[in-house]
């Protein structure tokens, strides 16, 4: 049977790039992008697009039926900083959209589900360096609690109902073509925009706050690779640890200064500092490497180069 994909949340930071890549691989007409509004013209104009509310089961089911969808990528979510401002809605969106998609798979209306988790599933009692796949998980953010609960439900639906759901715990994602939305790791994207436009950046985290990060190309590569792997290789049905690099704001600023020597950074930590302090500094992703061959291509050096080059060539 031909793969027909529905991406929910296609206009977001990951969805935008995922849509384009999946359209290249599977053909434009086999990838239906959807979101609550038409928020990104590239996504809307480059192939089939549907307006959908991720909280409306009937709407999603209708799209699955009329487009003969086999695989759903559920990318709609409220991220960490935004979720703290609106906990009830964050819980509703992050959990109920997942239940809708898992229930469609349980009812055999779709074959495969991708759902993103995050390093936010970990908390202050988790080992900070080389955080293992299996460890203490006591998240202290609404977003982290929703992602950890989501992981438990994914594993449950797989074991009890045979649902083929696959997931990775994304670290902070760095991309040039789409703006991030409401995350704690987003300084690592803003800094590039400000470095090029103003030559300086006022960082909302302290200089020594080390966090796991990944260039968007690697995140997309991981997402597609786990979805294309044989089902037997996916041994973990909660979510896989994933890593590429870890750095502090001051290390990132030093790397940017190699290209823009006059770049200046100042530090004014806000409420996001507490969230960052509760998350790991580095991640052990050996299970993903062993089970389905995950391997990142981008480190701090080539991410910095790629961000500056792409932003210079595609000014917003
Ligand atoms: C956030 O900062 O909320 C996200 C994440 C790490 O999941 N980028």
In the set 73, 143, 157, 240, the catalytic residue is 143
Q: Is 143 a catalytic residue?
A: yes
pLDDT in the model for residue 315: 78
- 107 within a domain of the structure (yes/no): yes
Range of the domain at 113: 5-117+138-169+216-227
- 34 within a domain of the structure (yes/no): yes
CATH code for the domain in which residue 29 is found: 3.40.50.720
Closest CA to 2 of 68, 101, 74: 68
- 195 within a domain of the structure (yes/no): no
Is 94 touching ligand 1 by the criterion CB < 6 Å? no
| Atom nearest to 116 CA in ligand 1 | 7
Q: What is the pTM of this model?
A: 0.97
| Atom nearest to 171 CA in ligand 1 | 6
Listed in sequence order, the residues at least 6 apart from 115 whose beta carbon sits closer than 8 Å to its beta carbon are 74, 98, 101, 150, 154, 165, 166, 167
Residue 80 CA to ligand 1 center (angstroms) comes to 6
pLDDT in the model for residue 178: 84
- 287 within a domain of the structure (yes/no): no
- Average pLDDT, stretch 50-59? 98
Based on the structure, what is the number of domains in the chain? 1
Q: What is the per-residue pLDDT across 63-88, written as a single tens digit (0 to 9) for each? A: 999 999 999 999 999 999 999 999 99
Task: Tell me the two tokens of residue 75.
Answer: 């990318």
Task: Tell me the two tokens of residue 74.
Answer: 């559920």
- 296 within a domain of the structure (yes/no): no
Mutate-to-test residue for ligand 1 from 173, 190, 214, highest number of ligand atoms within 8 A of CB: 173
- 220 within a domain of the structure (yes/no): yes
Which ipTM score applies to this complex? 0.98
Residue 181 CA to ligand 1 center (angstroms) comes to 9
Alpha-carbon separation of residue 208 from 41, 89, 174, 184, 264 (angstroms): 38, 32, 19, 15, 16
Q: Quickly state the pLDDT bin for 316 (edges 50, 70, 90).
A: low
- 258 within a domain of the structure (yes/no): no
- 290 within a domain of the structure (yes/no): no
């Amino acid at each position: 049977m031909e793969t027909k994909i529905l991406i929910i949340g296609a206009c977001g930071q990951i969805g935008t790039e995922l849509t384009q890549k999946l359209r290249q691989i599977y053909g434009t007409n086999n990838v239906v992008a959807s979101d609550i509004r038409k928020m990104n013209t590239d996504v809307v104009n480059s192939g089939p697009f549907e307006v959908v509310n991720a909280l409306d089961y009937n709407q999603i089911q209708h799209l699955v039926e009329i487009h003969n969808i086999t695989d759903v990528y559920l990318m709609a979510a409220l991220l960490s900083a935004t979720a703290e401002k609106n906990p009830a809605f964050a819980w509703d969106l992050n959990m109920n959209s997942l239940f809708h998609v898992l229930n469609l798979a349980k009812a055999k209306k779709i074959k495969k589900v991708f759902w993103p988790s995050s390093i936010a599933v970990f908390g202050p009692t988790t080992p900070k360096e080389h955080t293992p796949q299996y460890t203490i998980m006591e998240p202290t953010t609404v977003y982290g609690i929703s992602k950890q609960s989501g992981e438990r439900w994914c594993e449950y639906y797989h074991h009890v109902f045979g649902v083929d759901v696959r997931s990775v715990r994304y670290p902070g994602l760095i991309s040039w073509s789409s703006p991030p939305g409401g995350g704690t790791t987003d300084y690592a994207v803003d800094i590039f925009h400000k470095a090029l436009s103003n030559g300086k950046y006022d960082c909302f985290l302290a200089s020594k706050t080390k966090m796991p990060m990944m260039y968007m190309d690697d995140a997309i590569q991981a997402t597609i690779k786990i979805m294309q792997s044989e089902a037997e290789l996916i041994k973990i049905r909660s979510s896989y640890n994933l890593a590429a690099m870890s750095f502090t704001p001051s290390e990132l600023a030093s790397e940017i200064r190699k290209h823009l020597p006059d770049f200046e950074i100042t530090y004014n930590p806000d409420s996001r500092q507490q969230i960052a302090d509760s998350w790991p500094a580095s991640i052990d992703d050996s299970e993903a490497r062993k089970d389905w061959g995950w391997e990142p291509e981008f480190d701090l050096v080539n991410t910095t180069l790629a961000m500056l080059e792409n932003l210079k060539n595609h000014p917003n």
